[in-house]
Amino acid sequence: MKMQDSHQPPPKELDLKHALHHERHLLQEASVPILTISATYRKELADKYRGAVHATSEVVFSRAHYSMAEAVRQAAMEMGRTTQMSDPTNFVSQKEWTGVEFTETVGKLMARYRLLKWLKDRVDTIVRDKLPIHKAVAGPIKFLTEEINRPIISLHYEVGNVLAKAGKHVIQVVTDPHVRPQYLDCLPCGNIVYALFDEETKAAFLIEARRQNKAVKDSQLVVTGPPVDPRICRLGRTVKKMEKGQPLNIAICTGGLGTNLDEIKKELLDRAALVLRTSDKIRLFLYAGTHRDFRNFFEDFAREINVRVGNLDDETAGIRILYEDSIVDANNNLIKYMFPWAHGVVTKPSGDMAYEAAAAGCFLLFLEPWGVWEENIQKRFIERQIGFKLDPNRGSRDLSEDLSQNPILIKALENAHNLPKLFREGAKNIVKLQHEYRFPSK
């Protein structure tokens, strides 16, 4: 029997009211409700619910928070649970929308310019707390969840803090092996439990709690592992093979805000151009995400070195480029075309791409980390001999040597296959936690 609420209409200032009303009911009826802040897919919601949006542009802050939320949704469905995932950013009012776009613009500028990244590293916490999205999403979050009486899984601390302060039961996923101060904003309270990357992250959480002089019970800190889509995890059940004399399949990826553009341009592809022109030792899958500038650069690069760009399903092409207007399509096509094919993934050590590539059975070559949390991610995969720092001084040599029989990379593929269950069952563990955790009575 479906649950019903009072059919309270959405606040008049919020966008996509028809979609918002339906999403509210779907979340209320789901046994596993999931909220995140990652990106918008407003056009798709407008089409699905036959509505119109005030603003036609889309924003992407992070593929990670989308893909991890989708990972939990996929795990819930495979476990036979009803589930719904929503991002309140889709419903921000027209008045607040310029602030959302401003937040994305600031992120992209910092991602592309080293000086601004240097500044960002020093004011990160202050900047995060002052960005206009902080205020903009609060209204949609509260409306979406007003009638939900079961624990809500949050994939972003903004969501979790709003919900916990409103008295909701919250499973807050700490998505990286790093504890941002904002995760603790709602403490002390007994209606939030944290799903953590590993035991080391749990220890870091307790240190941060002591630093902020905030009380948290040990029972509120549960190690679940990172949320990785079960469709990706299934790819790692067999060891990927690199056949002697056959091309090495390499994916080169940017992040949700378009990070590492200069590094990819000057320290990687420029050095790989000679290899691509003169041999067939490598094939490249270039992930541009939702960034037109990356897509244009990749296309220009292929044209300049006279290498054919194939369709996404053409695994024999020297170069393929994945660009999508929609974060939903970008994520689905990564799972469909890139992860099953790639032997190795060149990426910053981000919470989505690094976890997913390793779980899919790939080795990792790391671009420059974006922050402390990514340094922690990099450290974990280097220690397991799955990931390696990409040496810019060896750029073309790393790609021109016959790597198909490189013992280090062969071992890295085996190590990826042998990842502990924690790295592949995080999404499932989070759903179990949501179902089994007993919050104290109010």
Share of the chain above pLDDT 70, in %: 88
Summarize the confidence of residues 123-139 as an average pLDDT: 66
170-229 pLDDT tens trace:
999 999 999 999 999 999 998 999 999 999 999 999 999 999 999 999 999 999 999 999
Q: Where do the domains of the chain lie, and which CATH numbers do they carry?
A: 17-228+426-436 (no CATH), 231-420 (3.40.50.2000)
The band of 113, judged by pLDDT with boundaries at 50, 70 and 90, is low
- Strand order in 32-35's β-sheet? 83-86, 32-35, 152-154, 170-173, 192-196, 221-223
**What pLDDT was estimated at residue 435?**
97
**Residue 363 near residue 388 (C-beta atoms within 8 A):** yes
In DSSP terms, which residues pair with 233 in a beta bridge?
none
| 397-439: pLDDT as tens digits | 455 555 667 889 999 999 999 999 999 999 999 999 999 999 9
Cβ atoms 284, 320 nearer than 8 A: yes
pLDDT in tens, 301-310: 999 999 989 9
The pTM assigned to this predicted structure is: 0.92
| pLDDT 10s digits, 141-161 | 999 999 999 999 999 999 999
- How far apart, in whole angstroms, are the C-alpha atoms of residue 258 and residue 260? 7
Two structure tokens written together for 249:
């399949």
Confidence band of 1 (pLDDT split at 50, 70, 90) = very low
Q: What b/e string do you get for 242-267 counting C-beta neighbours within 10 Å, with b at 16 or more?
A: beeeebbbbbbbbbbbbbbbebbeeb
Cα 374 off chain centre by: 12
Of 175, 89, 96, nearest in space to 352 by CA: 175
- Least confident span in 248-257, 316-325, 355-364, 411-420: 248-257
Question: Exposed/middle/buried for 55, CB within 10 Å: 0-12, 13-18, 19+?
Answer: middle
Residue 393 has pLDDT above 60, yes or no: no
- pLDDT-above-90 percentage for the chain: 62
pLDDT over 90 at 312, yes or no: yes
- The closest alpha carbon to 136, from 89, 85, 79, belongs to 89
Query: Which residue type does 108 have?
Result: K
